[in-house]
Amino acid sequence: MTYVGQSASAAQQSDPGEPGARASLRDVVMAYVGLTKPRVIELLLLTTVPVMFYAARGVPDLDAVVWTVLGGTFSAGSASVFNCVYDRDIDEQMRRTRRRALPRHIVSPRAALVFGFVLGILSTVVLYFGVNALSAVLSVTAIAFYVFGYTMLLKRRTTQNIVWGGIAGCFPTLIGWTAVTGSLSWTPVVLFMVVFFWTPPHTWALALRYREDYANVDVPMLPVVKPAREVGRQIVLYSWVMVATSLLLWPVASTGPVYPVAAAVLGAVFLVEAHRMWQRTKGTEDLSVIQPMRLFHHSNLYLTLLFVAVALDPLLTR
């Protein structure tokens, strides 16, 4: 059974424009930038740089940060471009994505594919020569997992698509650590798991808001195939595991007092928000009542502040 709700606020938005219009040079440049999904890149770098601070137990080498950020930007951009190429058929039908470059035919699929490969090669070269081989290998693995694991294998086949597909978005924690230390340890693995358990509440809240979009293109996101009440319940479960995992960093990494206090406070606030959204799903599918985007935006703030605490902890407890 498909649950798409009675109040389709997403479907009520006006059409932002018809695809295929003549594009200026600026439109083309911005289209290529858009293919890389800059907001996603920002989020991934947010979990990379703070880990470098913690790995260095202070301010990391500036050259290492620059090369890691540059390589990470190319890597995340490459994965996003490949995703846009593969998903261009459904992107054209979804209101949330129909203004992307490929649905509007500003960039051809072939040109976008070449762009994706160029970014992927650049990311590998930059990380290999500017950082180290392990970071480059992790970057390539993340791209491959996002493209083949999530985009091509999981997204259109299972409600668990973003649970396991979200693993690709966890790799920046490992890359940030290896960029400083040249090796892996349990500390970045714990942070990897924090992002892993954060991804379902974050993505399901967004998918709940745009569930009619996903339903129209037969993408089985959890909010499409389950009622909002069940989505809210699973969000709460993952949120509890996420907060517990975040607190695990304290004994595993022997952090100072800054991180555990921040993790506890931020976690408590997040759990309150998750439970409140779940309560709002009782007896209704009306998105104006459930307000899933409130939790979505709060999840961004949670991850931002948590990783800021990761960076600040060694600076304030030296």
Q: Are 175 and 48 in contact (CB under 8 A)?
A: yes
Tell me: pLDDT of 55 over 70.
Answer: yes
In a domain, residue 8? The reply is no
- Give the C-alpha separation, 251 to 67, whole Å: 31
Q: What is the pLDDT of residue 27?
A: 85
Q: Give the CA angle between residues 150, 155, 156 to the nearest 5°.
A: 145
Residue 1 lies in a domain: no
- pLDDT over threshold 50, residue 245: yes
CATH classification at residue 169: 1.10.600
Query: How far is residue 124's CA from residue 145's CA, in Å, rounded to a whole number?
Result: 15
Half-sphere exposure (CA, 13 Å, Cβ side) for 294?
Answer: 17
Angle at CA of residue 100, ends 98 and 105, nearest 5°? 90
The whole-number pLDDT of residue 2 equals: 54
User: For residue 15, what pLDDT band results from cuts at 50, 70 and 90?
Assistant: very low
Q: Is residue 309 part of a domain?
A: yes
Whether 142 shows a pLDDT value over 60: the answer reads yes
Q: Which of 232, 228, 210 is nearest to 219 (CA)?
A: 210
Q: Which residues contact 215 (CB under 8 A, 6 or more apart)?
A: 2, 4, 224
Helix, strand, coil percentages for the chain (3-state, nearest 5) = 75, 0, 25
**pLDDT value at 17 more than 70:** no
**Does some domain include residue 14?**
no
pLDDT (0 to 100) of residue 151: 95
What domain range is 120 assigned to? 25-316
CA-to-CA dists, residue 254 to 84, 185, 198, 259, angstroms = 41, 13, 22, 10
- Is there a contact between 191 and 310 (Cβ–Cβ < 8 Å)? yes
Give the model confidence (pLDDT) of 150-194 as tens digits.
Answer: 999 999 999 999 999 999 999 999 999 999 999 999 999 999 999
**Mean pLDDT, the chain, integer:** 92
Contact 225, 159 (CB under 8 A): yes
Query: Looking at the domain assignment, is residue 208 inside a domain?
Result: yes
Decide if pLDDT at 286 tops 50: yes
Residue 279 pLDDT grade (very low, low, confident, very high; cuts 50, 70, 90): very high
The DSSP call for residue 197 is H
Please state which of the ranges 7-21, 58-72, 98-112, 160-174 shows the lowest mean pLDDT. 7-21
Q: Mean per-residue pLDDT for 212-230?
A: 95
The per-residue pLDDT for 306 is 98
Residues 144 and 152: their CA atoms lie apart, in Å, by 10
Residue 250, C-beta contacts closer than 8 angstroms, at least 6 positions apart? 259, 260, 263
Mean pLDDT for the stretch of residues 110-139: 97
Is residue 22 scored above 80 in pLDDT?
A: no
In a domain, 169, yes or no: yes
Domains: count for the chain: 1
> What pTM does this model have?
0.90
Domain assignment present for 242: yes
Q: Give the model's pLDDT for residue 26.
A: 85
pLDDT at 13: 37
Distance CA 281, CA 289 (A): 8
For the record, the structure tokens of 246 come out as: 């975040």
4 in a structural domain: no
No. of helices (H) and no. of strands (E), the chain: 16, 0
Q: How confident is the model at residue 284 (pLDDT cuts 50, 70, 90)?
A: very high
Q: List, in order, residues 6 or more apart from 159 with CB less than 8 Å away.
A: 220, 221, 222, 225, 226
Those residues whose C-beta lies under 8 Å from the C-beta of residue 79, and which sit 6 or more positions away, are 120, 142, 143, 146, 147, 168
